[in-house]
Amino acid sequence: MSLQIAIPIFDGITALDAIGPYEVLSRVPGARVHFLGLYEPGPKRTDNGMLALTADGALGDVPHPEVIVFPGGHGTRALMRDETVLAWVRAAHETSQWTTSVCTGALVLGAAGILNGLKATTHWLLLDKLSELGATPVSRRVVEQGKVITAAGVSSGIDMALTLAAHLAGADVAQAIQLGIEYDPRPPFDSGSTAKAPAAIVELARRRT
């Protein structure tokens, strides 16, 4: 059976938020990943304007996916007030097996009311915003609450997708996917979270983000 996975894309998206989970989930047996524009297909520019991702369809073309992956990026701020997008999220969530987000995609889920009463995570710069949307902010890379899974900033979408792959196809398949994409991170610096980075680096990141 085909497993329909919907990844909404939009102007102002952070590319890895969508592409990281895609690289994992597209390898799940039976998976069909759909990159969906909010209203129409076509190219959507990333948050820095340097790259375009192409939507092959629109949200209305896949109203009831088994899996939702809502990515983040600066463009999510406007989507938090877009009732058409929020209505699709709510309706899709009603029948989904899994509803997930990466980075500030969690803010869209929150604006749709999906995170109300749940623990959730997002990019560290906007973690406190989750409490305004009815969620309990948690500073972890991946947070599971029933069928809702939220991931922190950008690269954590890969961790989320591997967690989801294990639910969908089993731990062995998820580990084989991890090995296939050679996801064995050994970063040159141990500054990937505010708990580890020196204060000066945290401040520099705030100014650059």
The span from the CA of 51 to the CA of 188, in Å, is: 26
pLDDT of residue 166: 98
Mean pLDDT value of segment 61-86: 98
Residue 209 has what pLDDT? 81
Summarize the chain as % helix, strand, coil (round to 5).
40, 20, 40
Q: What is the mean pLDDT of residues 95-108?
A: 98
Provide the 3-class DSSP secondary structure of residue 44: strand
- Is 103 known to be catalytic? yes
| Predicted confidence (pLDDT) per residue in 141-187, tens digit | 999 999 999 999 999 999 999 999 999 999 999 999 999 999 999 99
Amino acid at residue number 63: P
pLDDT band, very low/low/confident/very high, at 1 (cuts 50, 70, 90)? low
- Please state, in angstroms and as integers, the Cα–Cα distance from residue 54 to each residue in 48, 64, 202, following that order: 16, 21, 33
Q: Looking at residue 193, which CATH number applies to its domain? A: 3.40.50.880
Structural domain of 8: 3-208
pTM, full prediction: 0.97
In the chain, how many domains are there?
A: 1
- Whole-number pLDDT of residue 14: 98
Active-site hit among 15, 55, 68, 103:
103
